[in-house]
Amino acid sequence: MSSAAAYELLDALLEAAAWPKELARAVSIKGGEDPLMPTPFRVGTCAAAAVSAAALAAAELWQLKSGRRQEIAVDLRRAAASLRSGHYLRLNGARVSTDRNPIMGFYPARGGRWSYLHCNFPNHRAAALKVLGVAEDHQAVSRAVAEWDALQLEEAIIAAGGAGGMVRSRTEWAEHPQSAAVASLPLFEIIKIGDHPPHPLPAGKRPLSGIRVLDLTRVLAGPTAARTLAEHGADVLKITAPHLPNLGYQELDTGHGKLSAYLDLRRGEDVETLRSLVAEADVFSQGYRPGTLDRRGLSAQELAQLRPGLVYVTLSAFSHRGPWAPRRGFDTVVQTVSGITQRQGEVFPGEKPGPQFYPLSAIDYLTGYLMAFGAMVALWRRAREGGSWLVRISLAQTGRWLLARGEVSGDALKSVEKDFTPEEIARWSLESETPAGRLSHLGPVAQFSETKPYWERPAVPLGYHQPLWPSRSA
């Protein structure tokens, strides 16, 4: 597949948003074709299409605001590199570690099966170790997993509040009831959930100037969506709490352009503070498991009543439908259960035998770009026809979209490079002065002829600001 395939995917994304395919003519996609990294999956093609879709949505908002259209350029290699942007962070000249916890990974289970333990977060690691009945020692964990049936271990860890899964083949996943539930859904949904008069876009010099976004997401996918909105001028306020586990380096990757404040949603007064922020927001983006925020009076329907015209973006691991809808999950978990890690290990064996992760976080970052696309389409519809809107997507839906693109042929994979060149990374990077020091990181991928994407604020530590809106940006 060449860039022509990226245009085909872009056309499909525009069609899914009920937008004309002709809009794609404003985008120039260049820079090569898959494979770009050691994986058979067409990550570059998908990245270019998702980035282009989000860029076009920003351009459509600008056209609606200013009456002017603009041209967009997307480098396919640069788009693919953005699916591992955390790997290119440098703080005060030193590499920022993205190493995973040593307990996290694949282990042989009974009967020739494999189990994956997601142990990057302390609470998930503790859950797995409690089920296995061992201390935090790799050899002890390996011996314990070997005594388990992989499917039974998967269910035990989930029941204990952990995360992980049994390694499945694509055929096995296709036969699973959760796979059938995901297959019954489109890639994403943009649903009108309330009536409200058209809401004109705020005046300003950028596509999203004056738009306020509450970001209640964590890890990579949701934060990438909010980061993408920030690069077009939105005021983004990230909300988390001190007791929630986090990996600090991810904020250096996805925190560009954001304010960050603490609110503990276990406290009634903090929920009320959040509701007061929602009352002045335009976009509410959350990544809690389906139903979690409903119990705190923060469902899409309730917040759309509080703030008519709200765009409510919701992300889950396995979608809102099917037996696994309440289940927690991550990019790596979706890879594991859907056949990706098994296939990756077959095509690119690792130092140790067995399943392997692809060398990026494709599902996470792709989902983030698609969330941003959906949010901006909903803002466009709000401005044109009014209403409150729900944008809904899951990691599993994005994983299915990626797998549906097929694989690169074996011959093309024999000489693929392991990474992008240092010269490319330097050309695609910029530097920001942050509270932690001078940060080198990848810049926005899409290039615009008029409204250059950039982040007005540097990445900051979690809870760095007060939970207050700034004055609306011009």
Write down the pLDDT at residue 411.
85
* Residues whose CB falls within 8 Å of the CB of residue 311, separated by 6 or more in sequence, listed in order: 282, 283, 284, 375, 378, 379, 382, 388, 389, 391
Taking the complete model, does pTM exceed 0.85, yes or no? yes
Query: Using an 8 Å Cβ cutoff, are 319 and 400 in contact?
Result: no
Give the pLDDT confidence of 299-329 residue by residue, as tens digits. 999 999 999 999 999 999 999 999 999 999 9
Mean per-residue pLDDT for 330-335?
Answer: 96
Give the pLDDT confidence of 231-277 residue by residue, as tens digits. 999 999 999 999 988 887 889 999 999 999 999 999 999 999 999 99
Is residue 24 over pLDDT 70?
Answer: yes
Write down the pLDDT at residue 51.
98
Three-class DSSP category at 466:
coil
Quick one: CA torsion of 242, 375, 443, 234, rounded to 10 degrees? -70
**Reported confidence tier of residue 412, pLDDT bands at 50, 70, 90:** confident
Place of tokens 């991810």: 250
Give the pLDDT confidence of 87-145 residue by residue, as tens digits. 999 999 999 988 888 999 999 999 999 999 999 889 999 999 999 999 999 999 999 99
The DSSP element (H or E) to which 58 belongs, if any, is helix 43-66
Give the pLDDT confidence of 275-304 residue by residue, as tens digits. 999 999 999 999 998 988 988 899 999 999
Tokens of 284: 């509410």
**Reported confidence tier of residue 78, pLDDT bands at 50, 70, 90:** very high
- Tell me phi and psi for residue 393, to 5 degrees: -155, 165
Write down the pLDDT at residue 98.
84
Mean per-residue pLDDT for 210-214?
Answer: 98
Residue 218: half-sphere exposure toward Cβ, Cα within 13 Å: 17
Give the end-to-end CA distance of the chain in Å, rounded to a whole number: 42
Write down the pLDDT at residue 345.
96
Determine the angle formed by the axes of helices 395-403 and 43-66, rounding to 10 degrees: 120
Tokens of 149: 């049936």
Closest CA to 166 of 406, 395, 156: 156
Is residue 1 over pLDDT 70?
Answer: no
Q: Which is more confident, 97 or 356?
A: 356
**Reported confidence tier of residue 391, pLDDT bands at 50, 70, 90:** very high
Tokens of 331: 């990019």
